[in-house]
Amino acid sequence: MRVVALAGGTGGAKLAEGLAAVLPPGDLTVIVNTGDDTERHGLLVMPDHDAVMYMLAGRFDFERGWGHVDETWTVMDGLAEYGEEAWFRLGDRDFATHIARSARIREGRAPTEVVRSLQEALGIATPILPMADAAVRTQVRTDEGWLDFQEYFVHLRQGPDVREVRFAGDLSPTPQVLDAVEAAEVIVIGPSNPIVSIGPILAGPIRALLEGRGTAGIPVVAVSPIVGGVALKGPADRMLVSLGHESSARGVARLYSGLATAFVLDTVDATQEPDVAALGLRTLVTDTIMADAAGRARLALAVLEFAGRP
């Protein structure tokens, strides 16, 4: 069963890891958000791509919630000593990823091909495709004005309320993304922030392609990142409210209605199931918390089984 999963760097990344663990090698393709990407110290950093890559390689630091396991911080400390910016923390192993990637892109190779070479070096069978090869940068408007995403997310620790979101750059999908969507038999929208993780992916032409697949009878299954009205990590709940949506599984389902054909909500939100079904979505109520590898595989299997059900 050829499966395409859309992911950001936490919830969607965890479900992607679960899908990779339960599907035969080669059946899964992950499309990751690149709106979080940023240049730091002259290097291209791709936080969502790298979270998925480290997870699929078994190298993600689940305790810290980001980055590579067993990190050391020698380079960062050295940069700080020189007076370089130090609020965007990068570990030594992580720096190796950014150095290799940036050097290969500078040689003129496409980002999709370059990151695939990194994934292969880490033994990852699943292609992790950037949503676009051209630079796309998410920006958020706060009461202070427009901010680059990482300024808001890391430097200001998601403190200010977000009033508006925009995606600067060229959102054209790559040939690899087009082929994967065209070949998909199941499409999964992971439990990532619908505004700034899935939002950038859907802001471009990919949305119409996915809609076309759904209309053609391919299941497009979205998993709620909001559980019991809150985000398990990050600002998705506050962002939904400040942008005029409801911070609930139902609120997320409304955002995806017209695109998704099916929706997975957590057991604690079971009372919202009729409202979600009323949007025309097939529903599955299950435990969506992925506490460990077993939890990730369990939810992945539940989603696949649900997708395959008539």
Token pair 């990344």 in the structure block, residue: 13
Interaction of residue 177 with ligand GDP, rule CB under 6 A:
no
Q: Which of 3, 4, 6, 12 binds ligand GDP (CB under 6 A)?
A: 12
- Applying CB under 6 A, what is the total number of residues that bind ligand GDP? 24
* Residue with Cβ nearer ligand GDP (21 or 289): 289
Interaction of residue 227 with ligand GDP, rule CB under 6 A:
yes
Interaction of residue 197 with ligand GDP, rule CB under 6 A:
yes
| Best CA proximity match to 34, nearest among 97, 128, 122, 99 | 128
Binding mask 284-303 for ligand GDP (x = CB under 6 A): ----xxx-------------
d(CA 155, CA 178): 35
Interaction of residue 11 with ligand GDP, rule CB under 6 A:
yes
Q: Which of 119, 126, 150, 192 binds ligand GDP (CB under 6 A)?
A: 192
Interaction of residue 10 with ligand GDP, rule CB under 6 A:
yes
* Residue with Cβ nearer ligand GDP (173 or 234): 234
Question: What is the nearest approach in angstroms of ligand GDP to the Cβ of residue 191?
Answer: 4
Interaction of residue 249 with ligand GDP, rule CB under 6 A:
no
- Contacting positions for ligand GDP (CB under 6 A): 8-14, 48, 191-193, 197, 223-225, 227, 231-234, 236, 288-290
